[in-house]
Amino acid sequence: MALLGRGARADAPGGTGTVAPASVVTQPPRQWGPGAPPGYLPDPDVIALDPSFRDLTYFAAPIRRVSTGHGWLEGPAWSTEGRFLVLSDVIRSQALRYIWETGEITRFRPDSYAANGNCFDFDGRLIVCEDFLRRVVRWEHDGTVTVLADRFMGQGLNSPNDVVPHPDGSIWFSDPGYGDNITEGHADAPGGPANPKGLIRWNIGSELTGQIGGTRRQPDHLFRVAPGGGIEAVLSESDLRDPNGLCFAPDYKRLYVVSTPRAPGQAVGGDQAIHVYDVRGTGLANGRVFADMRLEGQQLNPDGIRVDIYGNLWCGASGALGLCGVFVFNPAGRLIGRLRLPQGCSNLTFGGPKRDHLFMCCAQSLYVLQVETQGFAPS
């Protein structure tokens, strides 16, 4: 049964008029939860641009806001064993947990060191990108922490951002410079690209962890951590500027990488497109633009990405109201659908016991939509 939200108008029986459902761009605006009244079904903000998208969505499932009031949510990762979602509140430096059975969000770790991206590897261990400490770590099953990467060619990392596992045991992560500011990580030392006049008191907070400040370490990279240890660069700044979100295709023959705007202290940033590369052994080849992320004449800013079991790519994006949200592309790069949200989406992942719920991190809020597909993941 279709429910009408505020601002909606139903046809009279046998009438030929149209229904005007509420959405993020109508007046009065759609009410968002938690606790919001039910909206119109099918949800008008689940937009099919190609008939194939209807096979990926469920007509009776609305987009729901399940939590709000956070700082800046990032890095959602679903734990199959624990039946919970790990989240990073980057600017509050907290690791959070969304519990499936109750819908509660609880504190997972009191200090996450401004963690950003998270993922679970093929053994169910949590891997975390820590902006403040400029490193990638793995939480072992016994509760200890293993540092997977914190230096490259004798220099520290910038601010590891997103991370994905490979079935050969390797870990791939992006390392742009977004953590080189006050809010997301650790500011530059005086004279550094993000603190050229030295006005930022860059060493405040260093007493917590030792001296970890300093200038931007090196150009942007996309790194691979080998199964036995050791880090190698698979993309450099000359290949792709400001690498951010990344994910493998289901057959692991392709890697998708998002290029985002310039980080603090940079003169030139990325092209705000999704790029795709062929995976050749331990490296990448044949890079090309998969999607330019332009819609209705406007440039959107892509961020986190994930693929479903059919190889469709789901991308969180920021931009103008009415355009921002989630963009869905088929494996050929055709935009087949989108989810219109009231604020930009920084990152997303599939979760739930059947992995058929799309969780979307949007600034201070977490949204969810039940879908008719499943997210592709190690387990």
Percent composition of the chain: helix, strand, coil (DSSP 3-state, to 5): 0, 40, 55
Task: Name 357's Cβ contacts closer than 8 Å, sequence gap at least 6.
Answer: 350, 351, 368, 369, 370, 371
pLDDT of amino acid 7? 31
- CA trace torsion 149, 259, 291, 257 (10° rounding): -10
Flag whether 9 is in a domain. Answer: no
Shortest CA distance to 80 belongs to which of 355, 349, 306?
355
Question: What number is the average pLDDT over the span 247-254?
Answer: 98
Say what percent of the chain tops pLDDT 70.
90
Question: What number is the average pLDDT over the span 309-323?
Answer: 95
Flag whether 322 is in a domain. Answer: no
Q: How many domains does the chain have?
A: 1
Out of 176-190, 303-317, 319-333, pick the least confident.
176-190
Tell me the three state secondary structure of residue 372. coil
Flag whether 2 is in a domain. Answer: no
Flag whether 366 is in a domain. Answer: no
Return the DSSP state at 262. P
Query: Is pLDDT at 3 greater than 50 in this prediction?
Result: no
Q: For 104-163, what is each residue's pLDDT tens digit?
A: 999 999 899 999 999 999 999 999 999 888 899 999 999 999 999 999 988 888 899 999
Flag whether 53 is in a domain. Answer: no
Flag whether 127 is in a domain. Answer: yes
Question: How far, in Å, CA of 207 to CA of 264, rounded?
Answer: 24
Residue whose token pair is 């907070």: 205
pLDDT of amino acid 6? 29
Say what percent of the chain tops pLDDT 90.
68
- CA trace torsion 77, 78, 83, 84 (10° rounding): 20
Question: What number is the average pLDDT over the span 272-291?
Answer: 97
pLDDT of amino acid 125? 96
The per-residue pLDDT of the chain, averaged, comes to 88
pLDDT of amino acid 319? 92
Flag whether 262 is in a domain. Answer: yes
Task: Name 14's Cβ contacts closer than 8 Å, sequence gap at least 6.
Answer: none
Which domain covers residue 116, as residue numbers?
A: 72-301
66 token code pair: 């399940």
Query: Is pLDDT at 26 greater than 90 in this prediction?
Result: no
pLDDT class of 41 with cuts at 50, 70, 90: confident
Flag whether 140 is in a domain. Answer: yes
Query: Is pLDDT at 65 greater than 60 in this prediction?
Result: yes
Shortest CA distance to 178 belongs to which of 149, 157, 158, 200?
158
Residue whose token pair is 């119109």: 40
Question: How far, in Å, CA of 117 to CA of 115, rounded?
Answer: 7
Q: For 318-365, what is each residue's pLDDT tens digit?
A: 999 899 999 999 999 999 999 999 999 999 999 999 999 999 999 999
Question: How far, in Å, CA of 228 to CA of 230, rounded?
Answer: 7
pLDDT of amino acid 11? 30
Out of 28-42, 170-184, 353-367, pick the least confident.
28-42
Question: What number is the average pLDDT over the span 193-215?
Answer: 69
pLDDT class of 215 with cuts at 50, 70, 90: low
Out of 63-67, 74-78, 199-203, 348-352, pick the least confident.
199-203
114 token code pair: 């401004």
- CATH code (residue 277): 2.120.10.30
pTM above 0.85, yes or no: yes
Preceding peptide of 28 cis, ω within 30°? yes
User: Which of the residue ranges 39-43, 179-183, 240-244 has the most confident prediction, judged by mean pLDDT?
Assistant: 240-244
Query: Is pLDDT at 15 greater than 90 in this prediction?
Result: no
Query: Is pLDDT at 206 greater than 80 in this prediction?
Result: no
pLDDT class of 190 with cuts at 50, 70, 90: confident
pLDDT of amino acid 195? 84
Write the DSSP string, 61-101. Answer: ---EEEE---S-EEEEEEETTTTEEEEEETTTTEEEEEETT
